[in-house]
A = this chain, B = another copy of it.
Amino acid sequence: MREHWLIQPEWSWNQPNKHDPTYVHEWVQSLHTMNNPPELLLYGAPLSRSSISVSGASLYPMEFRRIWKGFATYNIEKNIDLSSFLVGDAGDISMHTTDISLSHDRIKQSTTFLCSKYPYTRTCMIGGDHSTTACAVRGIQQAFPDETIGILQLDTHLDVRDPKIMGPSNGTPIRQLIEENIVKGENIVNIGPHGYYNAKPLVDFANKHHIKIITLKTARKAGVIQTVLHALKTLSEKVDRIYVTVDLDVLDISFAPGVPASTPGGMTTEELFDSLLEIGSHAAVQHIDFVCLDPSKDTPVNETVKIGGYAWMQFVTGCVLGKIS
């Protein structure tokens, strides 16, 4: 068994300018050319044929990198330049065309490989659909077998459909992890469900396993940031490492037309961006992913991909702020 399946993407827009980067594509480095371990490690999992409905989320890792040219490394609100923070791009995991199970396994293996080689580095996986999250967490658990993992999920859905019925598709990752005893339900917090997008039997399953569901309405009453901070605090007291999974369908459909499962009544970008600043600056957060953004359904002006890029930048800004404080 190969230890990993990472291949460097074909890109020229990433032209690291180590001496004086001003834009993101000049700043992020290829992992293979770095002398020191990065502080944040990026890799793509371009798989979406595991989606219940037709999805082009497999195209997101490429589009995510392409949008870097539109972002400066400087955040004007925090008056901070990110360019001294070391970000290494490990490339994309090579996916098989028709064997989804094999692709899932490669995501697990590659994650284990990266976590084992860079145990003190935070990881950020760019999906792909939400099925990739189960693989990544599985890989992390294998890399750190003695540690407990907690999950903070920003999502409109619970993602606890039954994999025995539909296979390990994008509706099932949380249930996979619970049923495999990789993550306990009580160590999972989901912020974002709202409206009519989770059938009763799925909510029953979540409750039975003590998943903490915080609806958007409830979060807004306390403040979304405060809710996120409280969730991180609670989780960090119970687990060794927190995995944050951002299903971009948590966003309201008016912001995220390019996320097929986004719905009315969802989170605003402001709420998400503010939350990610806190998430990035919290020490216990070791892993994050961004999933389910389908660039092929985006508007002609690429609104959703731009939001995806912004969201990631907020997380990184949080990382840097966390170092300073």
**A299 → chain B, closest Cβ, in Å?**
6
> How many residues on the A side are at the interface (Cβ–Cβ under 8 A)?
75
By a CB distance below 8 angstroms, the chain B residues around A217 are 77
A180 contacts B by Cβ under 8 Å: no
By a CB distance below 8 angstroms, the chain B residues around A166 are 96-98
Q: Do residues A98 and B169 form an inter-chain contact, with CB atoms below 8 A?
A: yes
**A62 → chain B, closest Cβ, in Å?**
11
By a CB distance below 8 angstroms, the chain B residues around A4 are none
A207: nearest chain-B partner, CB-CB: B79
What per-residue 1/0 map shows which CB atoms of A9-27 lie under 8 Å from chain B?
Answer: 1111101000000111000
What per-residue 1/0 map shows which CB atoms of A153-195 lie under 8 Å from chain B?
Answer: 0000000000000111100000000000000000000000111
- Give Cα distance in the complex from A9 to B15, angstroms: 12
A213 contacts B by Cβ under 8 Å: yes
A255 contacts B by Cβ under 8 Å: yes
A303: nearest chain-B partner, CB-CB: B253
- Give Cα distance in the complex from A300 to B300, angstroms: 9
What per-residue 1/0 map shows which CB atoms of A40-55 lie under 8 Å from chain B?
Answer: 0000000011101011
By a CB distance below 8 angstroms, the chain B residues around A301 are 253, 257, 260, 262, 297
By a CB distance below 8 angstroms, the chain B residues around A273 are 264-265
A69: nearest chain-B partner, CB-CB: B10
Chain A residues 50-98 with CB under 8 Å of chain B are 50, 52, 54-56, 58-59, 71-77, 81, 96-98
A234 contacts B by Cβ under 8 Å: no
A120 contacts B by Cβ under 8 Å: no
- Give Cα distance in the complex from A250 to B285, angstroms: 33
Which A residues form the contact surface with B (CB < 8 A)? 9-13, 15, 22-24, 48-50, 52, 54-56, 58-59, 71-77, 81, 96-101, 131, 166-169, 193-201, 203, 213, 215-218, 252-255, 257, 260, 262-265, 269-270, 273, 296-297, 299-301, 303, 306-307, 310, 313
Given contacts A22-B201, A50-B98, 6 further A-B contacts (CB under 8 A): A9-B12, A23-B199, A73-B200, A76-B196, A97-B167, A257-B299
Interchain residue pairs with CB less than 8 A apart (19): A9-B12, A10-B12, A11-B12, A49-B49, A54-B56, A75-B195, A76-B195, A76-B196, A77-B217, A81-B200, A98-B101, A98-B131, A98-B167, A254-B255, A254-B269, A257-B300, A260-B301, A264-B273, A265-B269
